[in-house]
Amino acid sequence: MIPGIRLVLLGKQGAGKGTQASYLARHYVVPHVSTGDMFREAVREGADLGRELKSYMDAGELVPDDLVIRLVVERLGRPDADRGFVLDGFPRTRPQAEALDQALDSRDGVEAVVNLLVPDDVVMRRLSGRRVCADCGANYHLEERLPREEGRCDQCGGRVVQRDDDTPAAIARRLALYAEATAPLVDFYRERGLLVEVDGLGTPIEVFDRLVKAVETRLGRA
Ligand code: AMP
């Protein structure tokens, strides 16, 4: 049986974290915990929580730590996370990283933290052309990967749209926040001996192969 894993993915918006996290979660048979996806689902459901989250997300601002931490800790407490998890989009700030340490205190901590490296110009091109399925979250791109039928998701037939926070102003704000609040986590995890740096350029499968090799080497299982 494939062993589980407790893995964190770091990397700028548009680095390919979502795609790689879903491949990794399938590979290790653990849940893919994406705070962005969790929040977008809450927005779709409406209610007060969804409205509150949307106001931050549309502006490209970070959702306040206490709220994010509460939702993630709740999610990691569910039984399907017993074998582990792939965290995508969390932690994004130092207090979130510390809260994760604390939440995992009673079980084993994070085993590896992958920093997916992609240059800024590539990230900008990926984000500005990005289109997503409003129903299942599948990713498309105006120049590289259009759905077979215009505006319809290949996987579920849902509507393919531009994310509200993929506007130039929100993209710029999100990248600035990444540099300010999230990039310092690279050192935080490097100091703990958990960091694995992986080149995020290439086809999704090439990046995935590279990633699994790097993680397995880090865990001494390769
Ligand atoms: P993502 O899909 O990961 O780019 O997340 C979309 C948006 O959700 C971000 O721009 C933030 O507004 C919010 N968000 C997601 N994860 C976090 C987090 N860990 N801390 C604060 N805000 C977050």
In this prediction, residues 167-178 reach a mean pLDDT of 90
In this prediction, residues 137-160 reach a mean pLDDT of 93
Confidence band for 107, pLDDT divided at 50, 70 and 90:
low
pLDDT tens sequence across 179-199: 999 999 999 999 999 999 999
Q: Which residue blocks in the chain are alpha helix, DSSP H?
A: 17-28, 35-45, 47-59, 65-76, 94-103, 120-129, 168-177, 184-191, 204-218
In this prediction, residues 99-128 reach a mean pLDDT of 90
Neighbouring CB atoms inside 10 A of 220's CB total 6
> Going by C-beta distance under 8 Å and a sequence separation of 6 or more, which residues neighbour residue 166?
127, 128, 130
Tokens representing residue 87 in the block: 């965290």
Q: Global pTM?
A: 0.91
- Percentage with pLDDT > 70 across the chain: 99
Q: Give yes or no for a contact between 28 and 2, defined as CB atoms under 8 angstroms apart.
A: yes
Neighbouring CB atoms inside 10 A of 191's CB total 9
> Going by C-beta distance under 8 Å and a sequence separation of 6 or more, which residues neighbour residue 176?
none
Neighbouring CB atoms inside 10 A of 39's CB total 22
Mean pLDDT over all residues of the chain?
Answer: 92
Asked whether residue 157 carries a pLDDT value surpassing 80, the answer given is yes
Q: Give yes or no for a contact between 202 and 211, defined as CB atoms under 8 angstroms apart.
A: no
Pairing type for strands 160-161 and 130-133 reads antiparallel
Asked whether residue 106 carries a pLDDT value surpassing 80, the answer given is no
Compute the distance from residue 62 Cα to the ligand 1 centre, in Å.
6
Asked whether residue 75 carries a pLDDT value surpassing 90, the answer given is yes
Pocket probe for ligand 1: among 17, 62, 175, the residue whose CB has the most ligand atoms within 8 Å is: 62
Which of 12, 131, 163, 218 is catalytic? The answer is 163
In this structure, the chain runs to a length of 222
Asked whether residue 220 carries a pLDDT value surpassing 70, the answer given is yes
CA distance 211 to 209: 5
Residues lining ligand 1, Cβ inside 6 A? 13, 35-36, 39, 56-57, 60-63, 68, 89-90, 92, 96, 165, 174
CA distance 41 to 54: 10
Q: Give yes or no for a contact between 140 and 166, defined as CB atoms under 8 angstroms apart.
A: no
CA distance 129 to 115: 23
Q: Give yes or no for a contact between 219 and 136, defined as CB atoms under 8 angstroms apart.
A: no
In this predicted structure, what is the pLDDT of residue 59? 87
Sign of dihedral through CA atoms 171, 166, 95, 200?
negative
In this predicted structure, what is the pLDDT of residue 167? 87
Confidence band for 6, pLDDT divided at 50, 70 and 90:
very high
pLDDT tens sequence across 18-59: 999 999 999 999 999 999 999 999 998 889 999 999 999 988
Confidence band for 105, pLDDT divided at 50, 70 and 90:
confident
Confidence band for 148, pLDDT divided at 50, 70 and 90:
very high
